[in-house]
Amino acid sequence: MKAQKQKMSIIKKMLIAVVAGFAVGILCLFIKGQINADVWDVVDAIFFQDITATKSIEGIGIFYIIGQLFMHGLQMMIVPLVLCSLSLALCSLADPKKLGKIAGKTFICYICFYVVAAALAGAAAYFVKSMGWFDVNLPAKEAQELVTMDGYNPLVTVVNAVPSNIVSSLSSNSTILSVVVVAIVLGLCMTALGEKAQPLKRVIEVLNDIVQMALNFIINKVAPIAIFCMIARAFAVYGTEYISPTLVWIATTIIVSLLLVVTIYPIGVFITTGLNPITFLKKTAKIGMFAAATNSSAATLPLNTKTCTEELGCSKEISSFVLPTGMTINMNGTTAMHMIAITFIGTAAGINITPATLALTAFLSICTAIGTPAVPVAGTTMVYVVMMGLGFNTELCLIGYSLVLAMNYLPGMAVITLNVVGDAATNVIVNAKEKRLNKEVYDKK
């Protein structure tokens, strides 16, 4: 019997789509400069034209249609994705059987690392933006539709976060903050009701499975083709302006993530426990490297557990709760990546990213990251949710997002390292606070 042909991974598909998109896009630029303008207009009408900008059937816009169908498919999943994943995450976290001092300390520790990572990544992104490294110089005629965020009292955001009508808040992708609030209330209320809420919880779990299956299809089957079309079209229409900012985004995400790994966790362990931070860094290095190599927090869990219990002196009982919980809700690397990606996408699209914008980005990102589902490139998919929450829905924003989604493999290796080492740091802190940490094992070389 012939061995079954091994399926190509989504990462390889994405890389092929990126390379092919760049090649076709640059080839189109070359052809555009060599052929007659009338001939190019025909090519543009067939493949690249924005059909929504025409008053009649003046073109086909094949690449534009494929890209838009992909984006609309993602948009269709946003509200049910946030509602189901976040409410179930909170419901699981607040399970009465797991409640107590350990759960409280675990959750507080993860949230603190979220906030610190978001603040530092936001500051780094703002610095890069201020240096002009995310700027894209587009022709004036191609940059007409920009998102503007008018000045307003930030407290208005707090008022608007609580919807006056649940149905209306769930009917628009521009009210993601309200969806987050509804999901939080739903998750906590289901927990309080206990067994009475089990039928509703099962319905939401099934809906969540359906959403994840749909996202799996969109990302695995549609995304590579759509990314090829969007990148090729971006080069054909806008030129090579996006290459440099995209490379800056990749470098910034990797550097910031690795710097956060070697700073906030050792410092956090030292401040809260007084333990040697260098020892922690040395013993968790292999966890980060294994996570980067496998690109999977689930695959890293056994090694993380073994390292925490045998080398860092953590108890098996506490580790059995803290580490799996962290694998589910601790995505502060994802939040750090979101801060940089949103700054890149917005700036490249001509939007003025302000500290207030970054603060709202951090809140939306933390809420969505906590409920990030286990789907391929899930963290990068959730960038789109944050974009919609901020109102970044222009074509230029979508081009930036397609590049982030396509070029996420290398940054993702650094991001997942930040996630799993954070799980270990929280485990050490919680064990120390509960006086269950064996300091002799921790200090042993």
In this structure, is residue 1 part of a structural domain?
no
Residue 144, pLDDT score: 46
Per-residue pLDDT at 388: 82
* CA separation for the pair 180, 358 (Å, rounded): 18
- 0.85 surpassed by pTM: no
Q: What is the pLDDT at residue 139?
A: 52
Q: How many domains does the chain have?
A: 1
Does 172 map to a domain? yes
User: Distance between CA 89 and CA 177 in Å, rounded?
Assistant: 17
- CATH at 131: 1.10.3860.10
pLDDT in tens, 218-241: 877 888 888 888 888 877 777 777
In a domain, 49, yes or no: no
φ, ψ (nearest 5 deg) of residue 416: -70, -30
Confirm whether 128 is domain-assigned: yes
Answer whether residue 437 is part of any domain: yes
Residues contacting residue 390 through CB under 8 Å, at least 6 positions apart: 147, 149, 342, 346, 357, 360, 361, 364
Is residue 252 a part of any domain in this protein? Answer: yes
Written in H, E and C, the secondary structure of 50-113 is CHHHCCCCCCCCHHHHHHHHHHHHHHHHHHHHHHHHHHHHHHHHCCCCCCCHHHHHHHHHHHHH
Ranges in the chain, pLDDT < 50: 1-4, 140-141, 143-154, 374, 376
Domain range for 284 is 62-443
Q: Answer whether residue 368 is part of any domain.
A: yes
Asked if residue 27 is part of any domain, the answer here is no
For residue 126, the model assigns a pLDDT of 96
C-alpha dist (Å) from residue 115 to 199, 326, 329:
35, 15, 14
pLDDT in tens, 302-338: 888 889 998 999 988 888 778 877 877 788 888 999 9
pLDDT of residue 55: 59
What is the token pair recorded at 128? 């890069």
How many Å apart are CA 129 and CA 305, to the nearest integer?
39
**CA dist., res. 374 & res. 328, Å (int):** 9
